[in-house]
Amino acid sequence: MAPDPNATRRTLAFEKNEVFDAVLAYMDAAIAAEVDRAISYSIEGEKRVHACGRAEALRDFKDLLLAEQEEAQRERFGSKNGA
């Protein structure tokens, strides 16, 4: 049975979490490494495309986590800044 997406989202409704912050920091480092690899002069062709795809996938996943956390916080704490 698939997990309930709403229950999963509720786990992200924290205000501060050191583990989440560490995961985001590792993701930032991985994204930067993939971008550096993709723009390296020594990489060519499909390897460059592959590195770009990896960087994009990491960035998309990070954006998904942040969007889900924002939605969870909005559900728990209400809208922020009148939004």
Look at the chain and report how many structural domains it folds into.
1
pTM here is 0.80
20 within a domain of the structure (yes/no): yes
Q: Is residue 83 assigned to a domain?
A: no
In a domain? residue 4: no
Residue 7 lies in a domain: no
Q: Does residue 69 have a pLDDT over 50?
A: yes
Residue 2 within a domain = no
15 versus 20: the higher-pLDDT residue is 20
43: in domain: yes
pLDDT at residue 32, rounded to an integer:
97
Query: Does residue 3 sit within a domain?
Result: no
Q: How many CB atoms lie within 10 A of CB 79?
A: 9
Structural domain boundaries enclosing 57: 15-77
What is the amino acid identity at position 12? Answer: L
Instruction: Flag whether 65 is in a domain.
Output: yes
